[in-house]
């Protein structure tokens, strides 16, 4: 039952989804250099994310995983190198054109007070609109489909500030879905959520791939959830990719020691068969003494 | 409870609210033409507007009340919309249209023109004021945008505060040296709709209209920026362009209003809060609501100022502060002001 690094399945449109199938896109970082102020966070990183199904970027705090995602999503201008979307340098594509192919959801976004769910999701239609064509029944349909997909349709007229954290995150994902893109980039979509809601959001992410064939790249903090829901893991340390591949190949005790500096044991998840990390803190006393942490 | 009702229900009736606001503005304008220190019967007002025969009443209505009302509509609309724009761009509920140094720029240019050229008469110094407002805003935009990150709401607000403080010092120095500049400045700073030169109207109008067009074009960008710059960018908005359009609109609208009617920026602080309670956070509604409420409030304050101290009158800027201040406090206390 190990999730395999899948090629995007073309996806059968369910009644909830727009009638057309989403285009597959290629996304690649070439010798990418990213930073803030005087500090260079990512230096010369190359990574091909094309057709990878669900990819999770993991790594310790400050390793540059969110910075990389912002660079990939053209939210941060590269210092050098380029992000290539469908063969073209993303910095040279009109930003609205990019927004029709790729949706990016930053970490913990904030909505202004009083904004209703449907108003927020409707703003996702911007890349498909023009000053002479503001709102069409087609837009309406896509917004409703996006809300149905995340089970938020019944809350459409409620203000965002009345919703729970998990519901709010589903609305933000609906807004990204309303952009109707084949590529979806998510920065820590489970931040501030309890475990049940983390699982709920990640199962939604999984459906977005398996039902509609979206390519999804997300930064994820929780290694076990990453291993369970992503087809491919990319492990980063100090702004560089250390290793990448299927969860079972990447999530090893050696990698955890090298990348996170964390002594840990990795066992097979008894439910899904995915690798499961058991951290060994310095005070952990394993039941079988010969397995003690070094 | 009320706020819940407003949130759930009222936003759905925005077209009806818009109509009400248009009617309120029209009523306020009508009151401004009808009511004054001198009693003019309604029939005489009608004749003065549509069939003037040169009576004294005609002159009062045509040369005093009509221009005054027009200035009220112009400045009120401009400051209301500019206030909503500046609060939207900075996501700061305490921002007012003077934030970008526009008001002090107008004051400085005006005082300087009196000091160096001995300019007299409202009609002339309006031009200096408007030019000064534009120049100060350009200076703030250049200063605020010169850092590595470009022009952000924070760098713009800081540059605006610095330029305002600097110009304020120069103005204070100049008015100490020149008595006539002092008198004009004091009058200007209080803010007034009366005694403006009607010739300035047709010349300022295109700038205000241009500002309103830019503001309209800015509405969708502001809606996206309210979700944060990253979300706006990922939705395909061009942040730099949206900021520049916003600054241009704020400058044109505020510059024209303060050059003509004095330091009334307080109006631009309170009006967007009232409008937001009716429109919700959607700038496509918030901007027109703010414009109409701005005009209504300014005219209402002006008319009240004519009534409270008959036969004299209280200047509109003072009335606005006296009426608007407590009203604003009540608004904040009842927590009807919305987080941006």
**How many beta-carbon pairs below 8 A join chains A and B?**
78
Name residues whose C-beta falls within 8 Å of residue B212's C-beta, 6 or more positions apart in sequence.
B77, B78, B81, B249, B253, B291
pLDDT of residue B123: 64
pLDDT of residue A284: 61
Q: Point out the residue among B228, B237, B280 whose CB comes nearest to the CB of A126.
A: B237
Q: Point out the residue among A112, A124, A159 whose CB comes nearest to the CB of B226.
A: A112
Would you say the C-alpha torsion B308, B310, B315, B316 has a positive or negative sign? Answer: positive
| Domains identified in chain A and CATH numbers | 27-291 (3.40.50.300)
pLDDT of residue B259: 84
A189 touches chain B (CB under 8 A): no
Q: For residue B339, tell me if it sits in a domain.
A: no
A290 touches chain B (CB under 8 A): no
The residue of chain B nearest to residue A180, with distances taken between CA atoms, is B235
CA distance B122 to chain A (A): 40
Domain count, chain B: 1
Q: For residue B159, tell me if it sits in a domain.
A: yes
Selected for mutation to probe chain B from A74, A99, A123 (highest B CB count within 10 Å) is A123
Q: If we measure between CA atoms, which residue out of A23, A63, A71 comes closest to residue A47?
A: A71
Judging contacts by C-beta atoms under 8 Å, the chain A residues touching residue B228 are: 106, 109-110
Q: Do A110 and B227 touch (CB under 8 A)?
A: yes
CA distance B8 to chain A (A): 7
| DSSP per-residue string spanning B165-185 | HHHHHHHHHHHHH-HHHHHHH
In the predicted structure, residue A189 carries a pLDDT above the cut 90: yes
Q: Do B233 and A131 touch (CB under 8 A)?
A: no
Selected for mutation to probe chain B from A107, A111, A115, A180 (highest B CB count within 10 Å) is A115
pLDDT tens digits, residue range B232-248? 999 999 998 998 899 89
Q: Point out the residue among A99, A100, A112 whose CB comes nearest to the CB of B340.
A: A112
Q: Do A114 and B338 touch (CB under 8 A)?
A: yes
Q: Point out the residue among B217, B228, B237 whose CB comes nearest to the CB of A106.
A: B228
Judging contacts by C-beta atoms under 8 Å, the chain A residues touching residue B340 are: 112-113
Q: For residue B264, tell me if it sits in a domain.
A: yes
**Cα separation, B78 vs B249, whole angstroms:** 9
Q: If we measure between CA atoms, which residue out of A28, A77, A31, A79 comes closest to residue A55?
A: A28
Q: For residue B134, tell me if it sits in a domain.
A: yes
The residue of chain B nearest to residue A99, with distances taken between CA atoms, is B236
Selected for mutation to probe chain B from A69, A100, A112, A155 (highest B CB count within 10 Å) is A112
Q: Do A114 and B7 touch (CB under 8 A)?
A: yes
pLDDT of residue A17: 42
In the predicted structure, residue A16 carries a pLDDT above the cut 50: no
∠ at Cα A257 (A237, A48), nearest 5°? Answer: 35
Name residues whose C-beta falls within 8 Å of residue B185's C-beta, 6 or more positions apart in sequence.
B107, B110, B111, B171, B175
Q: If we measure between CA atoms, which residue out of B114, B83, B118, B39 comes closest to residue B283?
A: B83
Q: For residue B340, tell me if it sits in a domain.
A: no
Which tokens hold the place of A8?
């995007």
Q: Do B234 and A100 touch (CB under 8 A)?
A: no
C-alpha distances in Å from residue B111, one per residue of B105, B164, B326: 10, 15, 31
ipTM over 0.95: no
CA distance A75 to chain B (A): 6
CA dihedral B78, B79, B80, B84 (to 10 degrees): 100
pLDDT 10s digit of each residue in chain B, 340 long?
334 444 444 467 888 899 999 999 999 999 998 888 778 888 888 888 888 888 888 888 888 889 899 999 999 999 999 999 999 988 888 888 888 888 899 889 888 888 887 766 666 777 888 889 889 988 998 888 777 667 777 888 889 999 999 999 999 888 888 887 788 788 788 788 877 777 788 888 999 999 999 999 999 999 999 999 999 999 999 998 998 899 899 999 999 998 888 888 789 999 999 899 888 889 999 999 999 999 999 999 999 988 888 778 888 888 888 888 887 788 777 665 556 6
A245 touches chain B (CB under 8 A): no
Q: Which of residues 59-88 of A touch B (CB under 8 A)?
A: 70, 73-75
Q: Do B230 and A96 touch (CB under 8 A)?
A: no
Q: For residue B317, tell me if it sits in a domain.
A: yes
Centre a 10 Å sphere on the Cβ of residue B150 and count the other Cβ atoms it contains.
12
Q: Do A113 and B281 touch (CB under 8 A)?
A: yes
Supply the CATH number for residue B155's domain.
1.10.3470.10
Q: Do A99 and B235 touch (CB under 8 A)?
A: yes
CA distance A269 to chain B (A): 36
The residue of chain A nearest to residue B338, with distances taken between CA atoms, is A113
Helix/strand/coil percentages in chain A, nearest 5: 35, 25, 40
Q: Do A126 and B235 touch (CB under 8 A)?
A: yes
**Cα separation, B262 vs B280, whole angstroms:** 30
Domain that holds residue B234: 2-333
Judging contacts by C-beta atoms under 8 Å, the chain B residues touching residue A111 are: 226-227
Q: If we measure between CA atoms, which residue out of A179, A138, A23, A89 comes closest to residue B224?
A: A179
Instruction: Please report which confidence band the pLDDT of residue A35 belongs to, taking 50, 70 and 90 as the band edges.
Output: very high
Judging contacts by C-beta atoms under 8 Å, the chain A residues touching residue B279 are: none
Q: Point out the residue among A114, A124, A179 whose CB comes nearest to the CB of B280.
A: A114
Q: For residue B213, tell me if it sits in a domain.
A: yes
Q: Which residue has the tokens 């009196």?
A: B114
Which tokens hold the place of A74?
């053209």
Whether B249 and B218 have beta carbons less than 8 Å apart is answered as yes
Q: Do A75 and B234 touch (CB under 8 A)?
A: yes
Whether A82 and A91 have beta carbons less than 8 Å apart is answered as yes
Q: Do B338 and A113 touch (CB under 8 A)?
A: yes
Q: For residue B212, tell me if it sits in a domain.
A: yes
**Cα separation, A52 vs A190, whole angstroms:** 21
A11 touches chain B (CB under 8 A): no
pLDDT of residue A13: 40
CA dihedral A63, A57, A84, A120 (to 10 degrees): -100
Which tokens hold the place of A53?
């199904």
CA distance A227 to chain B (A): 27
pLDDT tens digits, residue range A129-181? 887 777 888 889 999 999 999 999 999 999 998 999 889 999 999 999 999 99
């Amino acid at each position: 039952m190990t999730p395999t690094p899948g090629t995007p399945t073309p996806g059968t449109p369910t009644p909830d989804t727009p009638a057309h199938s989403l285009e597959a896109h290629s996304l690649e970082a070439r010798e990418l250099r990213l930073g803030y102020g005087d500090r260079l966070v990512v230096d010369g990183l190359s990574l091909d994310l094309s057709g990878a199904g669900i990819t999770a970027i993991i790594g310790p705090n400050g390793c540059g995983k969110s910075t990389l995602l912002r660079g990939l999503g053209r939210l941060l201008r590269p210092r050098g190198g380029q992000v290539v979307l469908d063969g073209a340098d993303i910095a040279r594509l009109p930003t609205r054109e990019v927004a029709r192919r790729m949706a990016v959801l930053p970490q913990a976004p904030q909505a202004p007070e009083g904004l209703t769910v449907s108003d927020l999701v409707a703003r996702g239609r911007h890349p498909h609109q023009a000053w002479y064509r503001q709102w069409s029944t087609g837009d309406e349909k896509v917004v409703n489909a996006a809300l149905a997909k995340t089970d938020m349709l019944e809350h459409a007229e409620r203000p965002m500030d009345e919703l729970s954290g998990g519901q709010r995150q589903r609305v933000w994902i609906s807004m990204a879905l309303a952009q109707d893109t084949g590529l979806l980039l998510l920065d820590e979509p489970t931040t501030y959520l309890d475990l049940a809601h983390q699982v709920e959001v990640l199962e939604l992410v999984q459906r977005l791939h398996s039902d509609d064939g979206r390519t999804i790249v997300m930064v994820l903090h929780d290694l076990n959830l990453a291993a369970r829901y992503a087809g491919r893991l990319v492990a980063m340390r100090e702004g560089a990719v250390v290793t990448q591949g299927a969860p079972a190949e990447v999530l090893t005790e050696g990698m955890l020691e090298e990348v996170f500096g964390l002594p840990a044991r990795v066992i097979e998840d008894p439910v899904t068969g995915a690798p499961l990390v058991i951290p060994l803190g310095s005070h952990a006393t394993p039941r079988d003494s010969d397995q003690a942490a070094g | 409870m009320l706020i819940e009702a407003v949130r759930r229900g009222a936003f759905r009736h925005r077209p009806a609210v818009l109509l009400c606001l248009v009617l309120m503005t029209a009523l306020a304008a009508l009151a401004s033409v009808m009511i004054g220190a001198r009693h003019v019967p309604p029939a005489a007002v009608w004749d003065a507007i549509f069939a003037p025969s040169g009576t004294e009443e005609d002159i009062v209505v045509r040369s005093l009340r009509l221009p005054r009302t027009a200035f009220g509509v112009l400045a009120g609309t401009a400051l209301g919309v500019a206030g909503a724009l500046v609060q939207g761009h900075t996501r700061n509920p305490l921002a007012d249209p003077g934030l970008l140094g526009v008001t002090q720029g107008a004051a400085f240019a005006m005082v300087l023109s009196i000091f160096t050229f001995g300019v007299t008469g409202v009609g002339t110094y309006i031009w200096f004021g408007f030019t000064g407002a534009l120049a100060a805003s350009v200076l703030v935009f250049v200063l605020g945008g010169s850092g590595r990150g470009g022009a952000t709401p924070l760098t713009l607000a800081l540059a605006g505060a610095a330029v305002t403080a600097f110009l304020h010092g120069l103005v204070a120095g100049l008015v100490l040296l020149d008595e006539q500049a002092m008198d004009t400045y004091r009058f200007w700073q209080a803010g007034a709709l009366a005694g403006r030169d009607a010739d300035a109207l047709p010349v300022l109008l295109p700038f205000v209209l241009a500002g309103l067009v830019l503001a309209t074009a800015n509405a969708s960008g502001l809606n996206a920026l309210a979700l944060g710059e990253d979300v706006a960018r990922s939705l395909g908005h061009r942040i730099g362009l949206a900021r520049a359009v916003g600054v241009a609109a704020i400058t044109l609208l505020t510059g024209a209003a303060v050059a003509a009617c004095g330091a009334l920026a307080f109006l631009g602080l309170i009006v967007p809060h009232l409008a937001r309670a009716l429109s919700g956070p959607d700038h496509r509604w918030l901007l027109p609501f703010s414009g109409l409420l701005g005009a209504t409030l300014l005219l209402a304050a002006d008319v009240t100022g004519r009534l409270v101290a008959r036969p004299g009158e209280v200047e509109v800027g003072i009335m606005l502060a006296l009426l608007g201040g407590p009203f604003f406090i009540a608004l904040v206390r009842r927590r009807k002001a919305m987080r941006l």
